[in-house]
Structure 1
Amino acid sequence: MENIKVRLFTFIMVFLGLTLQAQENLKKIPEFLQYTNSKWVDSIMQELTPKERIAQLIMVAAYSNRDNAHKEEILKLINDQKIGGVIFFQGDPETQLTLMNDYQLASKVPLLGAIDAEWGLGMRLDNTISYPYQMALGAIQDDSLVYELGCEVARQIKRTGLHLNFAPVVDVNNNPNNPVINYRSFGENKENVSRKGIAYMRGMQDANLLTSAKHFPGHGDTDTDSHYALPQINHPFERLDSLEMYPFKELIDAGIGGVMVAHLNIPALDSTGVPSTLSKSIITGILKDSLGFKGLIVTDAMNMKGVTAGNEPGVVDKDAILAGNDLLEFTEDVPRAIEEVTKAVQQGLITQAALDERVRKILAVKQWVGLNEFKAQSPKNILKEINTPKAKFLNRKLVEASLTVLRNKNSILPLRKLDTLKIASISFGASGQTEFQKSLNLYTEVKNFQLKAGASASEVAKIKEKLSAYNLVIGGIHDDSRFPRNTMKFSKPVKDFIAELAGEEHTVFSYFKNPYSLNKLDGIENAAGLVLTYQDTKTTQDLAAQLIFGGVGANGRLPVSVGEKFKSGDGLDVKGKIRLKYTLPEDAGMNSNVLYGGVDSLMHEAIKKKATPGGQILVAKDGKVVLHKAYGFHKYSDTVRVKKNDIYDLASVTKISSALPALMKLHDEGKFELDAGIEDYLPYFKNSNKAEVPFRQILAHQARFKPWIPYWRNTLRENGSHKWFTFKKDSSRRFPVKVSEDLWLHRNYQKKIFKAIKKSDLEDEAKYKYSGLVFYLLPSIVEEISGEDFRKYINENFYNKLGATSLGYNPLERFEKSRIVPTEHDYLFRKKPIHGMVHDEGAIMMGGISANAGLFSNANDLAKLMQMYLNMGEYGGERYIEEETLKEWSTAQFPENNNHRGIGFDKPYLEYKGESSNTAKDASKASFGHTGFTGIYAWVDPAEDLLYLFLSNRVLPTRENTRLYQLNTRTNIQQVLYDAIEE
């Protein structure tokens, strides 16, 4: 019986041993270990004295923003002590790389260079990118984005001459009051922390950068910052093993190269009370033996109070080595540390063989990162090579993917039916207009208010009074710190105001702070819409605004719990892409360098050669605005720079932007027929030579109509003065039509224009001949069919719904003159500079309201209408025009007659004619749009889902300035767009 028990016990032990061995085999061993006995490592080991070998285990702090004395101090440590590496802190990339090159040149053995770059180089270096903190990354559902981040961060770090990133943080942050980890953690869910940590680690290590998971065995459940004191964690072993250590075990199995040990007092793991950095039980007993970690074990900084309190410099470093660490970070007293470790060997506290094993590890890392064949990098162009368009785009992708919607009552997000909304925004904790508010105003008119964090009750009352005029409030809750701390510095009146707004039906909040601080705002969870961005940056503000209006969507999930208000994993999906998205060219498969370089160059050339004083250019691809810029000045002799919200005279682009969409809508409703003639809608034309000419021919400019009639010339006497019975200097009931400040037209003159059109001769041959005559009549036709005022009709059915608030007639009625770009100095008719009124003489004689000219807009608002066309009639989740209608109207109607025109829309010439063509060479035959006499170009290409707007005032000071045409600026820029599209 005893023999049976013995055999059974033996069998069980053998089985367990085999199982443990199988589990051990499943672990991915760090790649660098393959070099521990390489020829290069052997050769270095043979050259190193015992003290020099100890020095390989030491990494000192270096800075690239300090004086030459600091550099000499580091060089002395390299020359005299033969240290193994440096960890860089604050500075800039150029200086850091230059210093690292110098340090490498001085070192007997290549130096291992490290940095704390948890969220990229921006954590330490000026002029570099800060990616989202890990709390925000924890909200992302697509882990491949975190892997991509790892690859990119590795590329940037290596470009600065370094080889090791002390990241990722894989502490499970389950204490909202944690002062040191908090937003640096992926969250409170151990599986999510593990997945994100592995993705980040793999990205970096696949790009040949060593990583170090931190802070073992878990710094997430502390309320003490180990930089200033030693935190104590009192959880039992079972809890620590199943929760805090879980991510470390997962990353070890996945092949993490390094693990950083924290400064913690954990009685359940080591009852002696020593910091975990100095604990052999934790480092050797658990990390090495139990978890089987064979990679590089690094201390947290050895200058932190959590480990230095009560311990002498040098002695504490020796104790860290005895505990099982391989690499000492931030050793304060290098000579003494080397001396103390030397004594430890002499005293038999550690063997030379054990030390040599660790030295070989570090040398193996150096070979794995390529230091066995070190070549100095040049700092030339380093900023450009770090801050690439791809790197910047990745930042936007990560922020967008992290956006988390916690409340969306009645699907308030994204906002729809803009024509029914009067919107105000309040930036809480801001003293001036925020990036959030600027981005909100890209979509429609939003009245902006700001309320400081410490605002008084009276200041709050003033804002509340103003809000009574609005039916939707968008609140931005901002942070006052560089880091998203778990703090709330708002005054009680401000907090009460936020709670009051959150209780109302139509309030949306965007929260730019640490999610934990949500628990310090009563009632915020009651808001109709609540967007969480995790931190406060220009990018988070911009994308949060775009989310609210549907430029982007959201599918982030909260990575931590917030009291009883929200739980880890909360989050709602919100659909985006219903309106324009404002982004970078790479988001639409375009090359930033080609696009920006080409467009800027051509526009600057046009301005330099005085083809136009300035202008606006907007480019969108796939519904994404990838270029939106203002160039130059209002006038050649001016100091007023063009702004992106300045308003331009659209000239003949009015033809496709006013009556044409109205006619298409009426056509969809069966109220307007292309085969009908003018007389069917304006009986006045029944007996004219234009009766029975179908609108299809008229709008395709094949109706034999005269190109234009210079009506204004008939209002002048031979000496050039105005006829007294046609004009007066002051307005009256008989002279109500304003032509200029001191020129008012007789009320019946519009009838003379109609009569002139009616009686005008027809061309002999029915062929393509551009004519603007019918466009004077179209507003009246729309009114006749719809029964509504023309301006009211197009405003209510198009512009207001689109949020195109600057698009419209007679801009001086709504905007300051300073926002309107001037056009020509009219020496012949109005005899003064034209500023704020339509340039076209015929349109101004129609009171500024015509379909041939008269519309004003900025590029952004015109883009909304053009994007609706490009979407084949849909925008903002609403259909304006039927798809089949737009397809028909944007198709060439009479190509057999050598006519390239659509119905109202211009089209590319049937054959490309080089520089004399109306489009770029690569514009597709499906493309359509229109040009304007004042220097406007509005074009869309369905084949490439491409939108292009060029707004200028090339007629200043005179229409005789044709340099814009001679330079082919507009179509040359259009070609750049196609060149920038990457296959």
Structure 2
Amino acid sequence: MMKRRGVFLGFTGVIVITFLIQSLLSFSSSSGRENINDKGPDFLRSGEYWADSILKTMTLRDKVAQFFMVAAWSSGEKQNRQEIDQWIKNQHIGGVIFFQGDTQKQKELTEHYQSISKVPLLIGMDAEWGPAMRLSDAERYPYQLTLGATNNDTLVHDAGYWIGRECADLGVHINFAPVADVNVNPGNPVISYRSFGENPREVAENVLNFSEGMEKGGVMACVKHFPGHGDTETDSHYELPVVKHTVKQFQAIDFVPFQRAINGGVAAVMIAHLNVPALDSTGIPSSLSEKVIKGWLRDSLKFDGLVISDALNMKGVADRFGKEEVVLRAFLAGNDILLFPESVNAAIDAILVAVEDNKITESEIDDRCKKVLKAKYWALQQQKKRTAITTKDLLKVEYLKRAVAKSAVTVVRNEDSCIPILDFTKKTGIVVVGKKEDVAENRLLDYLDAKVFYFSDYSPERMGEVLFEYDRVIHVYIASTNRPAAGFGLPEGWDIYQHGLNPDREHIGVFVGNPYAITKKDAFDIFDGLVVTYENSPIIQDIAIQGIMGAIGLKGRLPVTIDQRFRRETSFQTEGGKRMSFILPEEAGIDRVDLSKIDSIALAGMEEGAYPGCQIIVALEGKVIYRKNFGYYTYSEKNEVSDRTVYDLASITKVAATTLTLMDLKGKGLFDLDATLGDYLPDIVGETVYANLKMQDMLTHQAGLTPWIPFYTKTLKGGSWRQEIYSTTPKEGYSTQVAEGLYILDNYQDSIFARILETPLRRNQGYRYSDVGYYFLKEIIRRKTGVTIDQYVRDHFYIPMGMSAMTYHPLRKMDGKIITPTENDKIFRKQLIRGYVHDQGAAMQGGVGGHAGLFSNAMDVTKLMQMFLDSGRFAGKQLLEPQVINEFTSCPNCSTNRRGIGFDKPVRSLSGGPTCELVSLDSYGHTGFTGTMAWADPKYGVNYVFLSNRVYPDAENKKLLSLSTRTEIQRVIYEALKKKKNYIFTNEQ
């Protein structure tokens, strides 16, 4: 397979020049006074009387103090509360900016500080991606680069809105966001993912939408970092960066987003600490430059709102000037809010001296103080309108994050259309680089039968060796941070192990983190497919994997140029709907509160001792809306049930193996429902009455077969195993394993058939459930296909459908630790049964029965049932003929027998039986003796799976039946469905 070989270029200048040309052509339509909001920021039109009345009560020192916003922590890391108390009480400072802490403590401190201040404080916060940027218990919103990848104005606006709402809920008045910098330098150490992108016009629209959303949420926006921090190579937190743009470049690139925000009436602009020779040739930092602030920002861009300095303790300026001088210079240059000053008292004194020295007039002090007061008035009015964030609001936020992820995740390479992954027949390995057992890994295992390797367990050289045998390798990079300075949160060597991979295999990468990391040499050239997510979060991991597996379409596009290989606007959009997806219940119109009643029923069953634990999945129209695990493997509560936990399916095997295969054979013309046992197995049934039994009658349980035959009883003598039938070690003639340390005669199958044939048929051949017919059906399948039933379903269904857990003989495939035990069999096998089939007859067949023997987790059962609901289609392939599914799931003898062909059906009166009364008569499925149920309803699109090991440790435990747990859960599903409605997720409702 040919691989692309990209060449990394140092081409920052190329990007700048490219956008200079592009932007100059269009800049004239968005610069100057065209489309400017002549009224300026909203706060300037409010609080005139209030501000004047406050101003009259102030001394000159009080007025100057209003320009100071000091740093506060609610984390306890810095015990500065007493100091701030003194500044508020004695110096009458104007505001506080909060840093690290938690929500409740910040609320408490905000209330306290406001209570001791003569004039309401202006509360600020640096919350670019929400309060979580500073608070440990807040939920993080998407980064700006992620929002930029969505190309969706509404999502950007809504992100700003909800960030505003959450800030307002904390008592915050101004959020120092969004970042308006155009990040044209991939090596930018400080802006990077904090920017919306590198296209000035797109960044401008995103800045405007985000700012408008935030102010609608009740918080003032502050665009930053003027005059533009997007083309720097040093971090202004540590030194003063130089931006070498010309005036025309500033106008064509950096100024565009600021101008758009100003035109839209943004409240505030933050000034960066930069050396910008084209704008101020003196070398004075932009934050201290009158030319930059008063000349370019005020006069050229016509900004009338609040000018706010970047933190004045940052080394980019702090190391060049004294603590008082840097504050004084910032104020005289035109900053209205002096952020994070290190010496409040002395700095106030310095400004007062400047007034005395006529460096600034008291009239200008009054004007600027009044502007600050009017901003406070606007903020106070917004606080009065504030409403508490409700559960309904939190749902909208969750939906927003998912919508952003769906729109942002980007396929940046897709050779041979390898994404989405539709072929599961390739032997697949998964490499996880970063956190183990994270969302992405687990979601992949929901779709794929694959081996997982962890980068941390191997040397980079060894990794290539262990992956050599795999036809496809999916590489998942889980970055712990987006910060370039922290190596993008990836372990050492992550970018070199790929050089040892086999280029003739298919390689697909999912990069969960800052995409600028993939500039690393030629690390990604071997990949046929590559997806970038822009950040790491559980939601974005989930969406990315659903996307590469074809459950949802991916439509994001790169908002930045990474390098020569991955340029801005790169996007390979993919189609979804190929597989089951995982969504919020509300996206399907179902209230999660209604579904939460399932939890109560499941927990009640555990409390009653009906089962130690269970798995439950509910899907609607092919989308999983509920998936939860409860309890433990046993009552000892040592091993919690997880998504990967495997259960003995018992009689669900009848539909998931035998009926499934017979439907396939019928569609291929190899199986006839009207044929008899004599037609298919003449050498076994001879001329007995069994020879006349029809296939359809056996599959609908009306052939007159006895319900169950305890075959094992004749293999015991005095309660012990008969030595001529069993061996405790495998040896010639005894290779068929029944349980751990127990092997049966290989030809004992003949004795089983003989035992069946000597059992009389019932005279009344009406409906009566029986396992017995499935012994014959299994043999028919072997003869028709030439392979055993376990081989057939594995090769024709389970592997093509990516079923990692559905299998016979689970101990041959998986670690027994993930399999729940069933009965402590004291009579037959004399051991706790775990990983071996519970059913005695199936065990005597070596664990492969037509009626029992399958193991699975709930997800794989759900996939199979969904394939039935989807008329036999899976991942774009037709696995079964639709008309065959319709025939087998019908009710051919409804007047006397509710059963389908192989499938169970509801009681026709919908009273009693395996289902609740709310299902449709078209529904079908099966239950299992071990405490399992799988049920599909084509009329309502419902797919419901319940798995438990209710037979642990004793199969006589009938509480699952007496409590009707499975059907009560089913009733909850349909009651929720009856209340289905269209949810509106925008912030307008």
TM score, norm. by length of structure 2: 0.88
Does structure 2 conserve the Cα–Cα contact (< 8 Å) formed by 1:502 and 1:528?
Answer: no
Q: Which residue of 1 aligns with 2:576?
A: 576
- What is the deviation of 1:42? 4.2
CA contact (8 A) 1:923 1:941 kept: yes
Q: Quote the residue 1:812 is aligned against.
A: 811
Conserved 8 A contact 2:184-2:198: yes
Query: What is the aligned partner in structure 2 of residue 971 from structure 1?
Result: 967
Change (3 A) 1:329 1:646: same
CA distance in 2, matches of 1:192, 1:375: 32
AA aligned opposite 1:711: F
Query: Could you tell me how far apart the structure 2 residues matched to 1:160 and 1:404 are?
Result: 34
2:987 is matched with none
Aligned pairs (5 A) from 1:915-954: 916=912, 918-954=914-950
* Partners of 2:923 and 2:337 in 1: CA distance: 63
Letter in 2 for 1:837: Y
Of residues 433, 449, 473, the one that matches 1:445 is: 449
Q: Distance in 2 between matches of 1:473 and 1:594?
A: 41
Paired residues for 1:802-841 under 5 Å: 802-841=801-840
Residue 53 to residue 496, structure 1, CA distance change in 2 (3 Å): closer
Measured after TM superposition, the shift of residue 662 of structure 1 is 1.0
1:496–1:263 distance in 2 versus 1, CA, 3 Å:
closer
CA drift of 1:87 comes to: 0.8
Deviation for aligned residue 1:166? 0.7
d(CA) in 2 for partners of 1:927 and 1:812? Answer: 33
The equivalent residue for 1:557 is 557
**Relative to 1, partners in 2 of residues 1:917 and 1:213: Cα closer, same or farther, differing over 3 Å?**
farther
Kindly provide the amino acid, as one letter, of the partner of residue 903 in structure 1. Answer: I
Displacement after TM superposition at 1:748 (Å): 4.4
Look up the SS of the partner of 1:405 in the other structure: strand
Worse-matched range after superposition: 142-151 or 353-362: 353-362
Matched residues in 2 for 1:34 and 1:893: separation? Answer: 77
Q: Does the 8 Å contact 2:141/2:163 carry over to 1?
A: no
Partner Cα separation in structure 2 for residue 64 and residue 342 of structure 1:
32
Is 1:414 the counterpart of 2:420 in the alignment? yes
Which amino acid is the alignment partner of residue 317 of structure 2? V
For the structure 1 residues 34 and 490, does the alpha-carbon distance in structure 2 shift closer, same or farther, using more than 3 Å as the test? closer
The match for 1:184 is 194
Give the stretch that moved more between structures: 597-606 or 58-67.
Answer: 597-606
Does the 8 Å CA contact 1:935/1:955 hold for their aligned counterparts?
yes
1:666-815 mapped onto 2 (5 Å cutoff): 666-683=665-682, 684-685=684-685, 687-689=687-689, 694-716=694-716, 719-722=718-721, 726-727=725-726, 733-741=732-740, 743-758=742-757, 760-763=759-762, 765=764, 767-815=766-814
Counterpart residue type for residue 531 of structure 1:
V
Match of 2:429 in 1: 424
CA displacement 1:889-919 (0-9 Å, x = unmatched): 333333344x433322223333343xx5533
Matched, 1:322 2:332: yes
Contact 2:133–2:140 (Cα < 8 Å) also in 1:
yes
Tell me the amino acid that sits aligned with residue 933 of structure 1: F
Match of 1:519? 519
Match of 2:145 in 1: 135
Give the counterpart letter for 2:204 in structure 1.
S
Match of 2:951 among 931, 934, 955: 955
Q: Secondary structure at the match of 1:658?
A: helix
Q: The residue matched to 1:449 in structure 2 has which SS?
A: strand
SS at match of 1:245: helix
Residue 19 (structure 2) aligns with: none
Deviations 1:160-190 (A, max 9, x none): 2212211110100112222211221112111
Q: CA deviation at 1:118?
A: 0.9
The alignment covers a number of residue pairs equal to 949
Q: Paired residue for 1:506?
A: 506
Deviations 1:107-129, CA, capped at 9 Å, x for gaps: 22222211111112221110222
Residue type matched to 1:414 in 2?
A: P
Q: Distance in 2 between matches of 1:564 and 1:332?
A: 44
Q: Are the aligned partners of 1:35 and 1:41 in contact in 2 as well (CA < 8 Å)?
A: no
Q: Tell whether the 8 Å contact from 1:97 to 1:377 is kept in structure 2 after alignment.
A: no
1:502 to partner: Cα distance: 7.8
Name stretches of at least 5 consecutive residues in structure 2 with no aligned partner: 1-29, 982-989
Supply the distance in 1 between the matched residues of 2:40 and 2:772 (Cα, whole angstroms): 80
Range that drifts further, 50-59 or 837-846: 50-59
Shift of 1:68: 8.7
Q: Once the two structures are superposed, what CA deviation does each residue of 1:919-944 show, in whole Å capped at 9, x if it has no partner?
A: 34544444322111111111233344
1:839 CA displacement: 1.3
Deviation at 1:655, TM superposition (A): 1.0
Equivalent of residue 904 in structure 1, options 902, 905, 925: 902
Change (3 A) 1:676 1:465: same
- Equivalent residue for 2:244? 234
Whole-angstrom CA distance in 1 between matches of 2:442 and 2:281: 57
Looking at structure 2, the residues matched to 373 and 630 of structure 1 have their Cα atoms a distance apart, in angstroms, of 42
Deviation at 1:765, TM superposition (A): 5.0
Change (3 A) 1:807 1:180: same
Whether the 8 Å CA contact 1:28–1:254 is kept in 2: the answer is: no
The answer to whether the Cα contact below 8 Å between 2:480 and 2:490 also exists between their aligned partners in 1 is: no
Offset from partner CA, 1:697-730 (integer Å, 9 cap, x none): 443334444333333344455x545556655555
Change (3 A) 1:807 1:21: closer
Q: Work out whether residues 478 and 490 of structure 2, in 8 Å CA contact, stay in contact via their aligned partners in 1.
A: no
Q: Summarize deviations over 1:842-877 as a string: whole Å, max 9, x none.
A: 222333222211111122322322222232322233
Q: Hey, what does 2:45 align to over in structure 1?
A: 34
Could you say which residue in structure 2 is the equivalent of 1:9? Answer: none
Aligned to 1:474: 474
Tell me the residue number matched to 1:23.
34
Aligned position for 1:616: 615
Matched residues in 2 for 1:74 and 1:59: separation?
10
Q: CA deviation at 1:592?
A: 4.3
Residues 37 and 265 of structure 2 are in contact (CA less than 8 Å); yes or no, is this contact kept in structure 1? no
Deviation at 1:67, TM superposition (A): 6.7
The CA distance in 1 between the partners of 2:441 and 2:47, in whole Å, is: 57
- SS of 1:151's partner is helix
Alignment-mate amino acid for residue 422 of structure 1: K
Amino acid of the residue matched to residue 284 of structure 1? K
Deviation at 1:64, TM superposition (A): 0.3
Tell me by how many angstroms 1:795 deviates.
Answer: 0.9
Q: Sort the Cα spacing of 1:698 and 1:364 in 2 relative to 1 into closer, same or farther, 3 A.
A: farther
Q: How does 1:459-498 map to 2 (within 5 A)?
A: 459-479=459-479, 481=481, 483-485=483-485, 487=487, 495-498=495-498
Question: CA shift at 1:829, angstroms?
Answer: 3.2
Which residue pairs with 2:178 in the alignment?
168
Contact 1:662 1:782 in 2 (8 A): yes
Structure 2 residue 121 is matched with structure 1 residue 111 = yes
User: In the alignment, does 2:350 pair up with 1:358?
Assistant: no
TM-score w.r.t. the length of structure 1 is: 0.89
CA separation of 1:290/1:94 partners in 2, compared to 1, >3 Å: closer, same or farther?
Answer: same
Q: Which residue identity is paired with 1:604?
A: L
Q: In the aligned structure 1, how far is the partner of 2:726 from the partner of 2:283? A: 98
Whether the aligned pair in 2 keeps the contact of 1:939 and 1:949 (CA below 8 Å) is yes
Amino acid at match of 1:779: K
The answer to whether the aligner puts 1:368 opposite 2:372 as a matched pair is no
Could you tell me which residue of structure 2 aligns to residue 292 of structure 1? 302
Q: Deviations over 1:477-508 (max 9, x none)?
A: 45465624595899998655423538444122
The SS at the match of 1:215 is: strand
Deviations 1:356-395 (A, max 9, x none): 34333333333333358769999xxx9x979945434533
Whole-angstrom distance in 2 between the partners of 1:549 and 1:377: 41
Amino acid paired to 1:712:
Y
Aligned pairs (5 A) from 1:517-556? 517-522=517-522, 524-556=524-556
Contact 2:615 2:643 in 1 (8 A): yes
- Residues 502 and 525 in structure 1, CA contact (< 8 A), matched pair in contact too: no
- Whether contact under 8 Å (2:617, 2:624) holds in the other structure is yes
